[in-house]
Structure formats: structure tokens, C-alpha cells
Structure 1
């Protein structure tokens, strides 16, 4: 079962989402919050931590962007899915930029919500076609500052692992495809995170796409 925490200042939407998720046998909503600060406060008091957080962008007191920044600083292992009524590139780019591992719009179908949560829990992130397109567009933007990373620092095996991570394969799937152990996959992933100075797998994928380290075609 995947433990969840939800934050949204629209009470009716929050209660409806919580009810919908709790009715699914795969999910358990531990608690809800009506703003980012309330979410942070509850995380600080948690006995059982959520596996995934779903947070709205526009909230009073502390909005979703600032809350996500603080969560990644104070609770680096938690995965944050952004949730918003705004399906625009700017909002999406901002949330991915501060560490959100996926993005949902409020008119998403329940099946898409379920899939996103499961993918994030299992793989650490979930980028659908729209999110991937935005990352590619950012990489083509002349104002986007790319890293000065020397690509030679990444070994051929690490590049193979990186490409499979970006194609959203699980650790077990990568191990099977490359005929290596899951522990070896973990070691290569940790090395890539360190070399690219990425905070999580989602950040690693964004870095790889934006710096043309891999080809997803």
C-alpha cells in the first residue's frame, strides 16, 4: 500500500480526492493539509511518513513551490507530485525545477492519477509525453544554462543505465536488460546522481535530457 499526504486549499476538492484515493486498495491517505506550511508541520510530527505527497501550487501561507523546496531540503526522500488547475509550461517547468517528480492537472481522469502515483512510487518519477516535451523545449531555449559537465566523466555502462532510467524502467528491469545485479544498478545510479549533482532520479532525468546526455528516440 502506498501512503499519501495531500495539500490543497480547496476543501471540497481535497476531500473528494482523499475519498477517491482511499477507496482504492492500493492507496492510504495519512493526512491532508490546506496549505504548504500545514503540510510541513504535519510532516514534522509524523510517526509514519508518506511515500508520496500531492500538493497544489497556489495555496495561502506557503504555496506549493515553496513547500516543495522545503520538503526536499528537510525530507529529501519524499516524492512530490505537483497538482494544479494550470496546465501551462511555465507552471510545470517551475515545479519540475524545484524538485517535483511529476505533474497532474485537476481535470485528470482517476486512472491517470492512479498511474502517476504508482509510477512515482515504483520508479521515483513519472514524466508523460507533455512533461518530456517541456524538458526538451527547455534544452533548446537559448536562455537555458547548461551544465559544464564533461561527458567523458560518465562511463559507457553508466550511460546505458541512464538511458534506461530515462525510459522509465524500474531497477529490476534495468538489471535484467543489462544482465547485472540490482545492487550494481543502484551503484551506477548513485554515481550518476553525484556526477550530475542531481537531488533525485527525476532531477537526473531532467539533467540528462536538457544536457543531451541521452537520446530517447
Structure 2
């Protein structure tokens, strides 16, 4: 029923990588397409592969070409491939940097298998998945970054409907869920999403979320409860 999710793993720790392969191959709708032991091997593979993966699980600390640099290259050359940072580093600076260079999600290696599978499913369905911690880091770090991003020049830059769609994308609703909430067809939602990508010069859905936070279309409330 669900579409096959094609995954590439990039991690220089072979034991950890093989453990992930074992775990992922047990899922009926997931196929591990390739394993790379460093970023350069991953980039070389993408240049020659016939079918691109849907998702790359990317370690940060790897020899020859690290995960941050590999993510920059892949995000620029293959924007339709979603990258999930999978790392032991859980500091705000690492999270902010990976999201800024194009990661669609950020997962720490001490996450549970169920958290990892849920993240893969969300990214496959929606193009990104940011948990509450990551959203707050984006809000705190990326909004204040001196990044050259196109801003809204006037109130008519985005239509009211486009803003509604963008807000629901930021709340991590899928296309069918947005269509149901706004009483429009999924195809219309896709049309609005494509217009948003063009207008905001975002390369993917994850970029729309960052754009919305930078331009205060969406804010993260600091609830301590």
C-alpha cells in the first residue's frame, strides 16, 4: 500500500551502519539502496547511480568529506533528496548548522529505533520533520543569522491562502491533511506549495519552514509546560 522508501546510509562506523541496515531491512516499505563509509564515497555514488534515493541518513563526522560538507553539496546538486542528520552531536550549533545547509531532519544516535523509523516516515511523507527541540533551535539561531534571504516586501507578497498553506506546512501537516483542513483538493495544495517555493526561492519544503520563521509568518512559542 505505501510506497517503497529508498535509503542510503553514510556512516564510517561499520558496526553501527550494519546494525541500521539490519533494522531498516525488516521494514516492508524500506529498502537500503547503498552504504557509504564517508561523504566522498556517497557523493561519488550519487554521480553514477541510476535511481536516486529518497532519503540519506548522514553521519556528521566522517573521513575524506564530512557530513556537513556532503550535505551542502548534495542539497545544491540534488535538492529532491532528503537528508536526515544522524549523529551523536546534540548541541544547538550542530543542529542549526545542519538545518541551515539543507538537512530535512536531525536525529541523535541515542534515539530509539521507533523514533528513527517515525522520522524516516515523516520525511518521506512531508519532505521534512523537525521535532520541538529542532524547531526551537531554528527559531533561536537561524532567525538571527545574517543570511541573505529574500524577505516579504509587502503584504501582498504571499496571498492569504498561500499563508494558510505555509502555516499548515510549518505545523507538519501532510498535503492530504492540508487539503482536508482548507476544503480544497490535494492538487490545489501542491499548486500553492509550488508557488511558495518559487516566491520564497526555497529549494525544498524544509526551506519553506526556515523562511516562515525568518519572516515571522510562524513563531515558536516557548511553552515550558
TM-score, length-normalised on structure 2?
0.91
Q: 1:196 aligns with which of 194, 200, 223?
A: 200
Mapped pair 1:209 → 2:213:
yes
Change in Cα spacing, 1:78 to 1:155, as seen in structure 2 (3 Å) is same
Mapped pair 1:186 → 2:190:
yes
The answer to whether the Cα contact below 8 Å between 2:12 and 2:37 also exists between their aligned partners in 1 is: yes
1: CA distance, partners of 2:132 / 2:203:
22
The answer to whether the Cα contact below 8 Å between 1:167 and 1:216 also exists between their aligned partners in 2 is: no
**Further displaced range: 192-201 or 101-110:** 192-201
Post-superposition CA distance 1:84-139 (Å, at most 9, x none): 11000101111100100000111110000000000000000001010111012125
Matches within 5 A, 1:30-109: 30-109=33-112
Shift of 1:76: 1.8
The answer to whether the Cα contact below 8 Å between 1:138 and 1:144 also exists between their aligned partners in 2 is: no
Q: 2:179 aligns with which of 169, 175, 178?
A: 175
Change in Cα spacing, 1:83 to 1:151, as seen in structure 2 (3 Å) is farther
Post-superposition CA distance 1:187-207 (Å, at most 9, x none): 111111122111110011011
Any idea what SS the aligned residue of 2:106 has? strand
Change in Cα spacing, 1:79 to 1:17, as seen in structure 2 (3 Å) is same
Unaligned regions of 5+ residues in structure 2, if any?
none
Shift of 1:149: 2.3
The answer to whether the Cα contact below 8 Å between 1:163 and 1:215 also exists between their aligned partners in 2 is: no
Shift of 1:156: 0.5
> How many residues were matched structurally?
216
2: CA distance, partners of 1:151 / 1:177:
27
Shift of 1:24: 1.9
Unaligned regions of 5+ residues in structure 1, if any?
none
Report the equivalent of 1:22. 25
2: CA distance, partners of 1:215 / 1:96:
17
